[in-house]
Chain A
Amino acid sequence: MELFRNTNFDFLGKKWPFIILSLILTAAGLVSLALKGGPRYGIDFKGGALIRVTFTQRPPVDKVRAVLDAKGLNADVQEVQGKQEDIIGIDVREDKALQTARQNIVNTLTAAFGQPANGKYNVNAGGADALANQLRLPLQTAGVSMNDQQVNELAANIIGYRTQHSGLVRNLDDLRSVPGVTPQVLNVLKQQLYPDSLAVIGVDQVGPKIGAELQHKAILAVLYALGGMLVYIAFRFEWIYGAAAVIAVFHDTIITIGLFSIFNKEISLTVVAALLTLVGYSMNDTIVTFDRIRENLKLLRREKLEPLINLSVNQTLSRTVLTSGLTLLTALALFLFGGQVLNGFAFALVCGIIVGTYSSVYIASPILVFFNNFMEGRKHPSASVSSAPRSGAPKTPAVAAPKASKQNVRGGAAKVK
């Protein structure tokens, strides 16, 4: 099976619409960023807390908001799709106030949506040790013959059951299936325990100082990584290739961050991981194209750069479509079905793969053409040969002096600096 065979699309001939589209996207993203005062950072970067609460039956989100608002607790409530869970975000930037706000929110939710305790112990809070301590005496009193070890095991099994069921025991009768729960034991459990209808299953809390530092470090790491790639590509190809590749990757990142701003999505640490992934994908894509260009420069020395790039892109087209298509499919699946938590991650990947694929063709390659035309126009208006990369140094003088052209490039580079 083959999708593409000997294609001959004039990619670079249609570069302008795409470059303009890129500029529009970049501008739109930057305008959105400017209007909104920078990216919308998640709590990882600005400080705050996220509380993940699971319910046996999730109350309507409006009701949750209303309950919190009534107590004057300013929180952002999000439903987790496909699950009985809410994520509650607290936008407080001071350590102690954050702690209090967090406690208040949990207390308020428990009061509003929880079950009455009636002096019993909540089986949906606390760990196995606490539960064992709670049960030891009543089991003894009820005449259940269990030693310490057995009580500990029983408690661990009950907590294990809870873990397997998304963190909530819905009904004490459900515990019948847990090893060690005999009808006699179940009676004791029913006397001593009650299952609350909500539980906190995860908390992320970041102080503002750490947030600012994480932000700073993440940006620095990415910039250094880009610099490192530039140097390596400059070493393997020519410096303009490195610059073109890095500009293309930078373009992808800026557009993706812009799209995050336009769609009002939060940038969290997970999103940063996705941005790093897309930098990797886009760079990979660009290098595959560049590699083919370099190879063709060696084979077809008389060819002008623009048709040569077109040829190279056409030759690598089926690989580009296959690879990008496959990865895009996976990312799209993750975006559509991956749930709330991975949503930002998958969104970044989807944007990144699309933008990263076309940037190799329409951003990185045109930069080579523009630079080549610029150098030729300035130095040797008559020369027709492109900038041959280092490894393409000629062995025969038969063809139109690519060596001279290479020196031109060098000279040009020095001037540009």
Chain B
Amino acid sequence: MQRNIKIKAVIIVAVILVCIYGVIGLPKSKAELVANWKHNIHLGLDLSGGTQLVMQVQLQDAFKATADTVIERMKEELQKDGIPFTTIDRNDPNSLETADKIEIDVKGVPVAKTGQFRSTVSDQYSDWLLTPINSTDYKLTMKPTEALKLKQDTMSQTTATIERKINALGLAESSVQPTGRSDAEAELLIQLPGVDDPAHVKQILQTQAVLEWDEVKDGPYNTREEGLAKHGGILPLGTKLVPTLIRGGQQSWYLVSRSAIVRGTDIRDARASQDSTNGRWVTNFVLDQQAAKKFENYTSNNIGNRAAIVVDGQVISAPTIQSRISDSGMITGATSQEEASDLALNLRAGSLPASIVPEEERTVGPSLGADSIREGFRAGLAGLIAVVIFMLVYYRRSGINATLALVLNAVILIAALAYFDATLTLPGIAGVILTIGMAVDSNVLIFERIREELRAGKAVVAAVDAGFSKAFATIVDTHVTTVVSCLFLFIFGTGPVKGFAVTLVIGLVANVFTAVFVSKTIFDWELSGKRQVTALSI
């Protein structure tokens, strides 16, 4: 008996020590203790403050861009090979679902050139399927395998670009990953804990940062309508109207070539700096070699013409080409240092292959998270104190026993969260509340059972033994039932439901240990020293 208790006591102390170590480590100072606690206990975004975003990647953008490149190349190719055509154009799929319905229409290829045209296309554009519509017109559609590959590439590029942006912002603990929902292959889950300026971060992430140098055909116009009217309501082939940034409430429009001179997907570097002449903030960028060569070619042939710097579909400036430019340029017009450095950051991270649209956003400001913790902690503590006081009044000495078990339960729960690297969220706290409820219930069950046995006239030691063993069956049933339900919640549930299930299971396991094993050992210890126990404080 005595030996048995000693072994049990050693096990309990060992568990306590392991738990405490898991939560606070081996701190040498108070500051270190707090730091270890913060390091080990991960608070969810709803408690720590931060932003969670579910972004839908607009894959159709990538499909359109790919088709545009193909069209450009095909035009050059056909011209080179001496195959005439009237137009090459594409359709305009506008939703995610229709992204892979992209089509390139080639019209007006003379019948005599059919064979040559077909062989050129099948040689050069093996990713596409060529279908004749009539003797002179053709339709190209993307092969399903290629479409799938393009989707996957777009998603991985988008993820990588967002990761670069997050790293550049210095948000160490953030993460980007697929949402993990089966039907949502175009969605990314972005978690940004501890961000103090979520709106700013979201804006940077969403900036596509597609930099283009476009040939200016005409403009500026004061309105879009004016631009249209000037061309009889129909824009010339291969051109588009692009608005400028709104500055001082003013916006104007330029008519530019639809295909860019240089598309700045490959920018070697970009930095914000202050213009020495007027003190304004600008963003300098350096193109990579390939783009630089193309640009040099164009500028040397077009001195005196205007080119527009377009970022994300907005004209930043439309300078006149003064001289041959090779690899570097400057984007002016930033209203603040922040604007200039944000743009530089986005250009450095690279452009997103497709725009991203927020589908879900949950932002908890740091002050709100702090309030939640404070209030939750206060309410939880008040509840716990009330329960403890009640147990002490109602069960007297044995109440101490129950209180110890309850506190130990909480310690094990927190330690398990730390060891499993689990995150504590608000629904997780709901799980903790249920755990505490069931822990109290276990103790009440046992104590009521012991009282019953005592009333039935059993001796103290026998009554305690009987009370524990009889209550044990009930405790196992209630706990296993709940664990079974948690299993299903964990498998089929989404985020918050999962968090609830995880904390609850940990709490329940801890509870069986504390309520049955620890509590019983304390009783045994209390009763073992005395020879004849006639009364139990319960």
* Contacts from A to B (Cβ < 8 Å): 1-2, 5-6, 52, 54, 95-96, 99, 126-130, 133, 159, 162-168, 199-207, 209-210, 213-214, 217-218, 220-222, 224-229, 231-233, 236, 269-270, 272-274, 276-277, 279-281, 283-284, 287-288, 290-292, 295, 315-316, 318-319, 322-323, 326-327, 329-330, 333-334, 337-339, 341-342, 345
Contact = CB atoms under 8 A, between A and B. Distances in A.
Given A280-B434, A334-B379, A95 B394 contact: no
B427 interface: yes
A183 B198 CA distance: 31
A151 to B, nearest CB: 13
Interface in B433-449: 433-434, 437-438, 440-441, 444-445, 448
Contact of A322 (B363, B438, B444, B470): B444
B440 A323 contact: yes
Contacts of A279: 485
B304 interface: no
A136 B248 CA distance: 26
A205 B360 contact: yes
Contact of A166 (B371, B379, B497): B371
A217 B492 contact: yes
Contacts of A326: 386-387, 390, 437, 440
Nearest to B390: A326
Nearest to A237: B477
B51 to A, nearest CB: 8
B441 A323 contact: yes
A129 B169 CA distance: 10
A284 B478 contact: yes
B78 interface: no
B361 A225 contact: no
A197 to B, nearest CB: 15
A251 B485 CA distance: 17
A214 B480 CA distance: 27
A210 B427 contact: no
Contact of B500 (A165, A236, A273, A318): A273
A127 B427 contact: no
A408 B386 CA distance: 49
B383 A287 contact: no
B382 interface: yes
Interface string B362-384: 11111110111001000100110
Contacts of B368: 52, 167, 201-202
Contacts of A339: 375
14 contacts: A133-B336, A163-B366, A200-B199, A220-B492, A221-B493, A221-B497, A225-B489, A236-B477, A280-B434, A280-B504, A281-B434, A315-B452, A319-B445, A322-B444
Contact of A162 (B199, B338, B367, B480): B367
Nearest to A276: B500
Interface string B283-303: 000000000000000000000
Contacts of A280: 434, 438, 482, 485, 504
Nearest to B470: A295
A162 B395 CA distance: 46
Contacts of B49: 163
B487 A284 contact: no
A79 to B, nearest CB: 16
A170 B197 CA distance: 19
A221 B492 contact: yes
B112 to A, nearest CB: 49
Top-3 shortest CB links A-B:
A127-B197, A167-B367, A201-B365
B358 interface: yes
B485 A225 contact: yes
Given A133-B338, A203-B361, A205-B358, A322 B394 contact: yes
Contacts of A269: 427, 496
Contacts of A270: 426-427, 430, 496
Given A2-B451, A202-B368, A322-B444, A283 B485 contact: yes
Contacts of B370: 163-164
B234 interface: no
Contacts of A209: 359
A209 B360 CA distance: 10
B21 interface: no
Contacts of A283: 478, 481-482, 485
B484 A281 contact: no
A338 B372 CA distance: 10
B473 A291 contact: yes
A278 B239 CA distance: 63
B444 A323 contact: yes
B338 A130 contact: yes
A381 B204 CA distance: 78
A291 B477 contact: yes
Contacts of A95: 357-359
Contacts of B349: none
Contact of A133 (B337, B359, B486): B337
Nearest to A83: B371
B517 interface: no
B481 A229 contact: yes
A228 B448 CA distance: 30
A133, A164, A224, A319 — which one has the most chain B CB atoms within 10 A of its CB? A319
Given A205-B361, A218-B494, A291-B474, A229 B445 contact: no
Contacts of A206: 359-361
Contacts of B365: 52, 167, 199-202
A276 B493 CA distance: 11
B195, B433, B452, B487 — which one has the most chain A CB atoms within 10 A of its CB? B433
